[in-house]
Structure 1
Amino acid sequence: MLKLSLRFLLRDWRAGELNLLAMALIICVASITTVSFFTNRVDRAMHEQSSELLAADFVIAAKVPIDAARLKLADEYAVSSSYMKLLRSVILIDYSNLTAEVTANDNLKLVEIKAVDEDYPLRGKLELSDEPYGKRYSHTGSPEPGEVWVPQRLLQAFQIPLGTKVTLGGKEFIVSKIIEYEPDRGGDFFRMAPRLMMNINDLPATQLVQKGSRINHRLLISGDRQDVDAYIKKVKSSPNPGEQLISVRDGQPEIRFAFERAEFFLNIIALISVLLGSIATAMAAQRYTRRHVDTVAIMRAQGLTQIKIFNYFLIEMLVFAVVVSLIGCLIGYLAQFVLAEIMSNLIIDDLPQPDLSPLLIGGMTGLIALLGFVLPPIWLLRKVSPIRVLRRDENVSIFSKSFVIIFIGTIFTLWIWRLGDELVVQYILAGTVGTLLALYITARLTVYLLKPLRNWVGISWRYGLANLTRRGNLSSLQITAFGLGIMFILLNGEIRTELLSGWRNTMPANTPNYFITNVQRDQLAGIKHFFESKGIAPPSFSPMVRGRLIEINGNGVKADDFENPQAKNMILHEFNLSWRKDLPEGNKIIEGRWWQAEDKGKPYISLDPRIVNIFNLGLGDKLTFNIAGDIQEVELTNIRGVEWGSFQVNFFSLLPHGLLEDYNANWVTSLNLKADEAKYLTELVRLYPSVSIIDIDVIISRIRNLMDRIALAVEYLLGFTLVIGILIMLTALKTTQDERRQEAALLHTLGASKKWILRGISTEFLLLGGISGGIAGFAASMTGMILAEQVFKFKYVFSFGPVFIGIIGGAVAITIIGLLSTNKVLSKPPIDTFRHV
């Protein structure tokens, strides 16, 4: 059986019967494999880079000393560990030998102290220098006893050189080196302050650690991935109260979020190619099956059973699928190098090589496409009657309603498997099915309405219209196929222009690139005046008060009450509570109502939907917070969507103005500063030493760069879509090629010229392309608008541009492709055609 199936395969390959099917499957596999290889490499790179952003593979954080059992467990699992302590204090700077003019209190400065051991960092490298803006060099380990290291901006803010003596608690230190780069410097913007690094063994001598001192403890873990995963699993199986477990997935969330959005765009483009390839595969499979009806009839006449005939074709198609999947995977592997070059140096300088999982994805795509689109018509082919050998006019059905169900189910499975987002899949599939129905219904209606026009046009147009109306159902199916192909080509264009532009517009040129935190109420007027004096518009500050959630609807809450790690973390830590009179820009009420003027001072709260979902809350629920020792109960009155990607100051929790004003608030703002304006921040910190400045310009630049690179990558992947779109049109035209050949031969015999026949066929193709292109353009705009507003959450203005492009482009493209594909048919002598009828 295998030998005969292979003979069938070679015969079909040589005869060109498998050309369209092979091209469709290869493009399906190649498009998905290209993106899979690339995203696999980037995911591995980000895992490595995220480890550097933590200075470890895994971190256990707590406000109490880490359980000694955790350290012992690290030895048992053969993973490396490093211990650090973080706290805040003031340092006393010795200005006696300096020229700076200071007052009595200017030598006291607030700093964040980071006490590390000799193994820090476990991942990444510290970069130090021995002079301001001097040569950098890498280093692993802690400062020498009696020495501290500080960042460049601390030297500038405090106006001190290297070698300055500073007193920390009960011990004197020398500032010996400048920290140029710290692997784990990222984190919560609102908790960052000028940092000083010291040897953890010097901490007891400072006498800063006393009963009641607020100290953050961190245990860093690294090692082989399997060992670290085993350690994490063990730690999670026996959680300790107050511990926060931080993995590499928590590192640099802004970049990760932007890349995940970028990966989403690439996957959509690839999966659109897969969908188009699947349609081409299904159409090519129908044509392949029809052309094998006579072969099956002969096999039946020779006594082969239905199941045996199916098995022959099954083995042939399985071998075929393996071959074309390997070719597609090879093309995908080579193509991803170009994609990686487009995105080079964006995530990490040297992308690691991918693992073999993309090959599995490509192979599975080819196999699923085969099982879903090729085998159903072949399964029906087995029912061909042996009488077909003698009576060629016997009607053979190789299409059924179950085929449509299998087709949609296969597409849905492929998309869910790759995107993992049912909502997006539902929108795109709804657009696809809606377009199919609209195309078919409109096509049938148009074909019906065109019938009367046959009597009012010239003879060439009459021939073209006659072809459309005579093959009413087939013409409608062709319009549907053309329209679907054109729709997704146009949708890719929409993604390239409108959707990507909309994504870019969520980060305009004036996106804040600096955060100013730790501002006190009595400093607000002075800081605003400072910016005004420099010719910079003073920023708007937001208050922030910390409160711990202790009750929900009167029931006390503990971290152990929740399985969700985010819920546990929020119970263990304080909420950042703020207040507003008006709804903040970029926020949107999802449920409930925003408070009115008469709600001033009322115990209400507005929450981000993520908090609502984590704690399973609803409107009217009561939440109780402990704020600086006071108990405050508030009612959830509205759920508010927040645009977190805007880099504006946003809060999960907002309360009405007039409720928390009596508490000591920490004020925060974000602002956009040009390069020549950022220099004033050093002067600001000198005037207000307790203020913290956080520079996020690097993150924003990387995200904008990512957006630009994604636009190029989308253009690159559009090549797959264009090829497969043309392939769909060719396949659709091939379905009527035999009939056109017979018609042309008959017309030639009756005296019609080739020019006259071409004019009539051109009319048919022009109408087919224009009708399908117009409907496809409208569907592409509608689908793009739904994706923009419902999935990507940005405004989208509906445009009729794709409709006009679809009409003109569809008419021209279908006419050109149709004439090129039928020209050879018209060139054959009529006698050759009649011999094969």
Structure 2
Amino acid sequence: MWVKLAFKLFSREFRRGELTIIFAAIALAVLTVFSLSSITERIGLNIAQKSSDFIAADRRLSSNHAFEPSLLTQAQGFGLKTATMLYFDSMLFANDELVLGAVKATTEDYPLRGKIAIKDSLSSQSYEVDSGPKAGEAWLSEGLFYTLNVNIGDNVELGAGVFKVSKVLVKEPDAPFFSLSGNKRVLISYADIAKTQAVQQGSRVFHRLLFAGNEQQLNDYYTWLKPQLKSNQTWQGIKDKQSPLGNNLDRAERFLLLAGLFGIMLAAVAMAVSAKRYCERQYDPVAMMKTLGGSRQIIRNIFLLHLTLVTVFSIVAGLLIGFILQTIGADYLATFMGTDLPQAGIRPWLLSSFIGLICAMMFSLKPLLDLFDIPPLRVLRRHLGDTLAISRLHLALSFMTIFVLMWLFSGELMTTLILFVSTLVVIVILFVVSRLLFAAGRRLGLRPGTSWSLAIATLQKRANANAIQLISFALAIKLMLFLVVLKNDIISDWQMQVPPGAPNMFIINIAEQDVAPIEQFFNDNNIPHEAFYPVFNGRVDAVNGEAFARRVSKQEGEKRDENARAGVNREPNLTWLTTLPEGNKITQGQWFSDGVMTSDIIEVSVFDGWQKALDLKLGDTITLLVNEQPINAKVTSFRKVDWGSLKPNFVMILSPNMAGKVPVTYFSAAQLQDKDTKDISQLLQRYPTISMIDIKSRIEQAQAIIAQVSLAIGFVLSIVLVSGALVLISQVQASLAERMQEVVILRTLGAKGRLIKLATLYEFILLGAIAGLVAAIVSDVALLVIQQQLFNIDGRLHFYIWLLGPLSGAVFVASIGYFMVARTMRQNTQHLLRKLA
């Protein structure tokens, strides 16, 4: 009996639009989470695939000695694709020219990820292939063609073997980021290693195994491999810290994760507001049903069935719309990225459905219980039940639900805590602010009958509802400001890492007498370059006379002196300079004094990362061991260094009175174009003692990845902006009935249409401005923590959003709010009364 009545009421209310709000809220929750999680997963998979090009595989295993054959056999047993490589140096000879080249021998499956770029001649266009040279062939980098004076089809002697030069090697996906033989690379078949006779017992070689497969296969294999790894074998993926892209990829994933978390928060807010408003609109029907003899159990069954039906329909609709949105978005992104985005797995479907179901249950529970408690006397006394107390337990459960859903989605407790706590701060501040402002409205001294006075009076009249609206508006604005500012900071930080005009080649081992002619060469050929820095190697041997623990020989069974001070077991490049290098910032102390040149005391500025490692403080005396010569230097400053800028940087810079005390070579960096390759090769022939580090191709790859990530982040941000707008729409939609009543009363009292319209507009402007101001301030403070803790970039206040927040909030809320109620105000009074009835 009650089931038939429930379906009849459901059909009637659905046609009348009574269930529109709660239906839209659940659908919004589902489609937001589904579209965000699908897009972020597909983008993440694409970024991971593209980034895997940097190592030509999903994982790689490196060693300086040969691998056991069982490693490959077992990997293939786990379903992994594999490839083998060997690096070694060997002499190349052709046309009476002899040069040392960096040789890489690969099996036919190389590369497992990415492509090799080659050319058929020096003057032809490059193209990509997915396998290396055949047996008997050698692919040479362009610089070797000029050095050896060879052409395509010529023979070149490599070790004891003779090889046919068949291609110009332009780019390898896994070319080392720093290579001393950047313009002297050779690629041959793995089968030709024996032919060269360059690899003998005790030869200095480097082995590498490549693996490709899904994450489960890779994890299973690594579980088997880990106990067998030697201390000098390294298992690496693109996210490892050894990878130059690791930090940037981690930042991108964290941003996409934040976007998903914000989507969940927006959906939860929309659901909570909509569920409460829907149940409030059912107070009168429930009171009528009780008056006519309906029992509490029947009423409960009817509305629980309604909730179940609307939840199922809305989840299905949300999944369908979300799938369409993410498909359109993915196709759009794929077009601009020039790639196909991988398909997402089952997780977005399950996650969005689960979140939609949980939101429907948790945020509708208390309003439904209130609905069942409506007294029958409400039929006569319409305000009975309007003041049902808000349950603290329900509030606690609601907040806990949001927290758990965010944590479930992110898997990161710190990220969830920062966002959740900052949101609670916004809620508390706004509730207090709204109470104070609305309570003080009568003391503003506004003239009766004006639009502003009517707007203030309306805000006072709906103080509780406006406080909830303020919180909803502020949360939407906060999340949007949060993502906009964070996106700009992340991308600008990436661009600072590889700024326009950054050097893409380093030249080292320059003799002092060669500095002037090399600099003249750069100037004559219009090649932008950095200054020439004197460099030498030195080891920090002691601080304030306290010697560091020396290296011990494990071969001889020596043990380290546990009482000795720990140091840094490497000899970095050091220099002396007069001025602070670009991109360096003094964090403590002062740069070298003007009179240092006439002083016997050598000063040193230390990279702040070594301050903690060496336990240094200002005024300490460092003893540097350069060759066998000890040099004492006084610590006068600590510097922050941007190592990602690709500019020449040093962990220690000594004062200029260091000049002449130790032998040095010089070091510089330049920005090369493709047209400069031949000239640089001739320069290297003219000065055979210098070496070039070529990172041009690696920078191009990194910039391509960053461009794709930036585009993806922008698209995900647009989804969150749309979700925020939908939250605002649902909030305004929930108050339309009450606004209709106000319009009818005001018109009955003789208020003009212009007065009502302006008052409504001013009301939304005030709500938006207040919400935007609080959202901007709290967002900026939370950003300080997020940037430092999660993204490892300098946190700073963004005072411009303190102005942007209220302005954008006022415009955003006023535009959406006025658009939503404009249709209501255009309708005549008789029509509004009929709708209210």
Instruction: Give the structure-2-normalised TM-score.
Output: 0.78
Query: In 1, distance between residues paired with 2:805 and 2:309?
Result: 41
3-state DSSP of counterpart to 2:440: helix
Residue matched to 1:540: 531
Q: Does structure 1 retain, via aligned residues, the 8 Å contact 2:602–2:658?
A: yes
- 1:534 Cα deviation (Å)? 2.8
3-state DSSP of counterpart to 1:86: strand
Amino acid at match of 1:87: F
Q: How does 1:97-176 map to 2 (within 5 A)?
A: 107-123=97-113, 126=116, 128-134=118-124, 138=129, 140=131, 143-145=134-136, 147-176=137-166
Q: How does 1:555-634 map to 2 (within 5 A)?
A: 578=574, 585-587=582-584, 606=607, 608=609
Q: How does 1:336-351 map to 2 (within 5 A)?
A: 336-344=326-334, 349-351=339-341
3-state DSSP of counterpart to 1:343: helix
Residue matched to 2:274: 284
Q: Please tell me whether residue 771 in structure 1 is matched to residue 778 in structure 2.
A: no
Q: How does 1:202-601 map to 2 (within 5 A)?
A: 202-204=192-194, 206-210=196-200, 212-222=202-212, 226-247=216-237, 249=239, 258=248, 261-262=251-252, 264-265=254-255, 268-269=258-259, 271-296=261-286, 304=295, 313-314=303-304, 316-344=306-334, 349-385=339-375, 392-395=382-385, 396-397=387-388, 399-419=390-410, 425=416, 428-429=419-420, 431-453=422-444, 456-458=447-449, 463-488=454-479, 499=489, 502-503=492-493, 506=496, 510-522=500-512, 524-540=515-531, 543=535, 554=549, 578=574, 585-587=582-584
Encode CA deviations 1:477-507: one digit per residue, 9 max, x unaligned.
44444454455556666567x5577457636
Q: Does structure 2 retain, via aligned residues, the 8 Å contact 1:377–1:398?
A: no
Overall identity of the aligned pairs, in %: 24
Residue matched to 1:562: none
Query: In 1, distance between residues paired with 2:658 and 2:9?
Result: 81
Q: Does structure 1 retain, via aligned residues, the 8 Å contact 2:143–2:678?
A: no
Q: Does structure 2 retain, via aligned residues, the 8 Å contact 1:600–1:656?
A: no
Q: How does 1:612-691 map to 2 (within 5 A)?
A: 642-643=641-642, 645-649=644-648, 654=652, 669-673=668-672, 680-688=679-687, 690-691=691-692
Q: Does structure 1 retain, via aligned residues, the 8 Å contact 2:728–2:813?
A: no
Query: In 2, distance between residues paired with 1:112 and 1:11?
Result: 79
- 1:14 Cα deviation (Å)? 3.0
CA distance 1:229–1:745, change in 2 (3 Å): closer
Amino acid at match of 2:44: D
Query: In 2, distance between residues paired with 1:596 and 1:329?
Result: 64
Residue matched to 1:820: 823
CA distance 1:765–1:484, change in 2 (3 Å): farther
Query: In 1, distance between residues paired with 2:225 and 2:582?
Result: 42
Q: Does structure 2 retain, via aligned residues, the 8 Å contact 1:34–1:336?
A: yes
Q: Which runs of 5 or more structure 1 residues have no equivalent in the other structure?
A: 96-106, 560-570
- 1:539 Cα deviation (Å)? 0.9
Moved more, 723-732 or 824-833: 824-833
Say what the alpha-carbon RMSD is for the aligned residues. Answer: 5.0
- 1:62 Cα deviation (Å)? 0.9
- 1:313 Cα deviation (Å)? 4.4
Query: In 1, distance between residues paired with 2:73 and 2:713?
Result: 50
Moved more, 632-641 or 393-402: 632-641
CA distance 1:481–1:232, change in 2 (3 Å): closer
Residue matched to 2:40: 39
- 1:49 Cα deviation (Å)? 4.1
Query: In 2, distance between residues paired with 1:572 and 1:205?
Result: 42
Query: In 1, distance between residues paired with 2:452 and 2:714?
Result: 43
Query: In 2, distance between residues paired with 1:585 and 1:117?
Result: 44
Query: In 2, distance between residues paired with 1:687 and 1:414?
Result: 66
2:704 to 673, 696, 702: 702
- 1:287 Cα deviation (Å)? 0.9
3-state DSSP of counterpart to 1:33: helix
3-state DSSP of counterpart to 1:344: helix
Encode CA deviations 1:711-752: one digit per residue, 9 max, x unaligned.
752574266236414414414533xx34x555555566xx52
- 1:286 Cα deviation (Å)? 1.1
Residue matched to 1:565: none
Query: In 1, distance between residues paired with 2:643 and 2:10?
Result: 56
3-state DSSP of counterpart to 1:217: strand
- 1:19 Cα deviation (Å)? 1.0
CA distance 1:787–1:727, change in 2 (3 Å): same
Encode CA deviations 1:106-130: one digit per residue, 9 max, x unaligned.
x332211113345544555555555
Amino acid at match of 2:449: G
Amino acid at match of 2:28: I
2:184 to 179, 194, 199: 194
Q: Does structure 1 retain, via aligned residues, the 8 Å contact 2:574–2:652?
A: yes
3-state DSSP of counterpart to 1:242: coil
Query: In 2, distance between residues paired with 1:298 and 1:154?
Result: 92
Moved more, 664-673 or 526-535: 664-673
Amino acid at match of 1:752: L
- 1:236 Cα deviation (Å)? 1.2
3-state DSSP of counterpart to 1:351: coil
Amino acid at match of 1:515: M
Residue matched to 2:749: 752
CA distance 1:636–1:237, change in 2 (3 Å): farther
1:717 to 716, 719, 722: 719
Task: Count how many residue pairs are aligned between Structure 1 and Structure 2.
Answer: 796
Amino acid at match of 1:208: A
Residue matched to 2:557: none
Query: In 1, distance between residues paired with 2:131 and 2:451?
Result: 83
Q: Does structure 2 retain, via aligned residues, the 8 Å contact 1:548–1:627?
A: no
Query: In 2, distance between residues paired with 1:325 and 1:662?
Result: 76
3-state DSSP of counterpart to 1:285: helix
3-state DSSP of counterpart to 1:699: helix
3-state DSSP of counterpart to 2:175: coil
Encode CA deviations 1:140-183: one digit per residue, 9 max, x unaligned.
455424x4321233213443223444444444544343334434
3-state DSSP of counterpart to 2:186: strand
3-state DSSP of counterpart to 1:775: helix
Query: In 2, distance between residues paired with 1:448 and 1:375?
Result: 31
Encode CA deviations 1:249-302: one digit per residue, 9 max, x unaligned.
459955665555455555545544543333222111111121233455567785
Amino acid at match of 1:733: S
- 1:626 Cα deviation (Å)? 11
Query: In 1, distance between residues paired with 2:629 and 2:323?
Result: 61
Moved more, 799-808 or 297-306: 297-306
CA distance 1:618–1:761, change in 2 (3 Å): farther
Query: In 1, distance between residues paired with 2:418 and 2:473?
Result: 21
Encode CA deviations 1:657-695: one digit per residue, 9 max, x unaligned.
799999998876544456766775444444445323221
Moved more, 263-272 or 625-634: 625-634
Encode CA deviations 1:381-407: one digit per residue, 9 max, x unaligned.
444456656755434415233444344
CA distance 1:154–1:184, change in 2 (3 Å): same
Query: In 1, distance between residues paired with 2:204 and 2:135?
Result: 25
Residue matched to 1:568: none
CA distance 1:821–1:594, change in 2 (3 Å): farther
- 1:577 Cα deviation (Å)? 5.3
